[in-house]
Structure 1
């Protein structure tokens, strides 16, 4: 499928820019000091002469940060984020931070016990603020409960020969006024992702895990406790949204069905199967008509024989069901994010792996036409 233009009766995606990324794992957009930025964590770059394999490559590389200028993104900074998997922008009072997650470092052999760096934005510069020890870190997620600020770190892996000396769990950190300190471990084996939201009077934290069941945890006023176990394995991501008078939770699975849950009777029940294998990430945008959900598909097959060239899907909410609105080509797609700039809606999409199983794969910026005014991010 031609990635430059994707059309449906209600929308059109026009590719306006390709970013020269390598193993891109996320697109984190944010505005600071009146400037729009886009951070793109990168897992690895190709090594000349090395076999094409998604588990190889050079992970001692930097994370590019772009700024929006003249209707496109231009290079702004490069940050030392080896084996980059994620970036999370957040604020605490007047201070602004960018938490980055590093899966690994090295060029084979690799080190999975690598610190992840939280940067603080100071006078337009990204300055290292705190390094958090971790093991195969995947994603940060910032959330607040009242005046308390938390960072959740999804991490871990269960591959033979890649086990830490001591068991590793995903974990929560809390801001103590000067830095982030350990707060609570979360049962996990191969943690991937988070979502925090409030529904039905409950504060819930969703944790996606590849190797064990993914969980919904409930805040009991002091800590998080088990609330609900979700269907399927190989969990990758969540997206909670409210529209048309209902609360919904989309749950992406790499090796199983991607599902849509609906909140009813004090819990989430499966409402719809959205897609089959390959689910990796979501982007949601609400509007007066119900909203659109982007499902980014990663790959089919195995780590040893991956098929990265897939179609990702845009759904629209129509009378209580998500129906397909458009498809667009991704190559090892890992993330997507809506943003508005210069009076237009855009969609940033991260691609991590080419058809030839090489890391040098462009990520894309689309201009989105035909969706109307946004009511939620």
Structure 2
């Protein structure tokens, strides 16, 4: 049992990462933010041979461009969403829609201009509808009406919708801006499988829009409408809207046209030759730089030290709506309470002390507008059960208060997830005394009792981490098993949700596993495991026990199994953290021990480089780190880590070229 005791001492400073989401969202692959502006009309009608009955192309002499005319007999323009979402499975969380149109309908009935539809249920996901006095923007079951009088005359107009966070903004003719607050933010991960774009109509009915449509542009990015509109001093009262021609137009006039007339000032245009949105400013069509999240990471720099009451082995960063950004640190075993910090004036300042007992990890989650924190407590001794606690945010006192406790055994991790509207919380129990084969428990939220009740027990072996993830609407949960009493070279397990239970899906051989990290790149799904310790018959000489190979697995869709994709040499790896910056993908590994003879302690940043797979690009000379998290403030990207040996944790800021 001496070897096991040594492992307990080692693992007590190792934390698992708790992957969290809000009650409305499940942690999924990072959404796609590197799409370019998309001309939906061009995708719907690539050539003039594909125009459906009732839709015709007319030439607009005033702007030297073609437009589509929709009549009462028109059929819809429709195409599958995967035509443009080829390597990206999710609709951008932040986006803008530009529409250039002339409305001719004078009746009071509602007309559907544009929609995104679920092919399986025929349900509208996103739509833009018109009435005589209003423009209606809808997503899911949320409807926003913007009153307007722009359709009172027979003129061309530009409409712009921007969705970002809890705000939807409509802009008409670059002058009138209306904003609505959203109770429920736009889905962060909206899958595009089995969906279709419909132009000129909604659902599977004939088109009901009547008028002329020049452009329908989808632009990923927050409030791109505001970015493309010129400053107020350049705006004129003329409402004429000029657009560049579609790719199929053969007129030689437009490719050479750079200047615009006074009547074009303040108007938007989409140049299909350069795939750029342009605006007429001072007589010249100027390209607009719409930021869609594309940044190039140059290096990292130390930003701010966070002084914690004691050494910490886990940090969880989360946001409370209306309150701000917070970070909670798990106090090291035997050194008392944990500490909650709040982001104030660009740094984390101490906010609240939370009572814990050798805290190992924190999880934040939301249930029906109630905010919770769950802490996994190791306890005072592996021979005794301990209480792990769920705290709830008290809105009036603006503090977290103890809400519910669970009896746990050397708990290492809590993982929250949501399936079919039900809320679950899984605890990883590490060991009972010397016995590492113990039940870890999944709890389910009971809406009538307003607390968690035991739902399912799963036998685990020296468990360290639960990680929940979703692939094509199928739910999985992976356990990191670390030690069976004889060796660290054992199987970790992935479970699959089937018939309202988790059943075994796949096993992987791991070596002292402490963390799983799930992420997606260009439609491919990956799992990375952090292997921390090499002890047992496979290392009978007990040499260099901290040196391990951590593994990145990739999902083989045909075989329906995760396969070894890349081996990464690590030195007591404790945590993987996936970070996306613009179009670049990064993995940060926390190495808890010195990386070999004479090498300084360092965490390593790997960048995805396609055929070259993940390549090390940065070595971060940090203090002993046990857990990494990433967060953003505005356009700034930060990494924060918990210091496992001292009371000084750090924030690192990313610098971009």
Q: Which range moved further: 71-80 or 361-370?
A: 361-370
TM-score, reference length from structure 2: 0.48
Shift of the alpha carbon at 1:309?
A: 6.2
Q: Could you tell me which residue of structure 1 aligns to residue 313 of structure 2? A: 25
Deviation at 1:200, TM superposition (A): 5.0
Deviation, 1:277, is: 3.2
Distance 1:195 1:72, change over 3 A: same
Give the equivalent residue in structure 1 for 2:362: 87
Superposed displacement of residue 351, structure 1: 1.4
Aligned pair in 2 of structure 1 residues 234, 314: CA closer, same or farther (>3 Å)?
same
- The match for 2:385 is 113
CA deviations 1:83-131 (Å, max 9, x no partner) are: 01111000012111000111123xxx77642101100001121011001
Query: Is residue 243 of structure 1 aligned with residue 537 of structure 2?
Result: no
Deviation at 1:167, TM superposition (A): 6.3
Radius of gyration: which is bigger? 2
Do the aligned partners of residues 309 and 134 (structure 1) sit closer, same or farther apart at CA in structure 2, a change above 3 Å counting? farther
Q: 1:187 Cα deviation (Å)?
A: 1.7
The answer to whether the aligner puts 1:232 opposite 2:530 as a matched pair is: no
RMSD of equivalent CA atoms: 2.3
1:207 is matched with which residue: 472, 475, 479?
479
* Equivalent residue for 2:549, pick from 253, 257, 271: 257
Separation (CA, whole Å) in 1 of partners of 2:453 and 2:552: 34
Q: CA deviation at 1:163?
A: 3.6
Distance 1:297 1:369 in 2: 22
Unaligned runs of 5+ in 2: 1-295, 484-489, 534-547
Ranges in structure 1 where 5+ consecutive residues have no aligned partner:
1-8, 45-57, 302-306, 354-359, 372-377
Q: Does 1:151 align with 2:425?
A: yes
- Corresponding residue of 2:327: 38
**Runs (4+) off by over 4 Å:** 109-112
Deviation track 1:193-229 (CA, whole Å, cap 9, x = no partner) reads 0111122553210000101421000111221111100
Work out the number of aligned pairs and report it: 331
Q: Which residue of 1 aligns with 2:298?
A: 11
Q: Does 1:347 align with 2:617?
A: no
Residues 31-68 of structure 1 show CA distances to partners (whole Å, capped at 9, x for unaligned) of 11331100000123xxxxxxxxxxxxx34x11110000
Which residue does the alignment assign to 2:176? Answer: none
User: Any idea what SS the aligned residue of 1:239 has?
Assistant: strand
Partner of 2:413: 139
**3-state SS of the aligned residue for 1:225?**
strand
- The structural deviation recorded for 1:250 is 0.8
Report if the CA contact (8 A) 1:309-1:330 is conserved: no
User: For the residues of structure 2 that align with 1:361 and 1:175, how far apart are their CA atoms?
Assistant: 35
* Residue 499 of structure 2, aligned match among 221, 240, 249: 221
Q: Tell me which protein shows more strand as a share of its residues.
A: 1
Separation (CA, whole Å) in 1 of partners of 2:474 and 2:511: 25
Contact 1:298 1:308 in 2 (8 A): no
* Higher RCO by CA contacts (8 Å cutoff, separation 6 or greater): 1
Asked if 1:173 is matched to 2:449, the reply is no
More helix by share: 2
| Deviation for aligned residue 1:246 | 1.1
Deviation at 1:310, TM superposition (A): 2.1
The aligned counterpart of 1:62 is 337
Report the Cα distance in structure 2 between the residues aligned to 1:269 and 1:35, rounded to whole angstroms: 40
Distance in structure 2 (CA, Å) of the matches to 1:86 and 1:10: 29
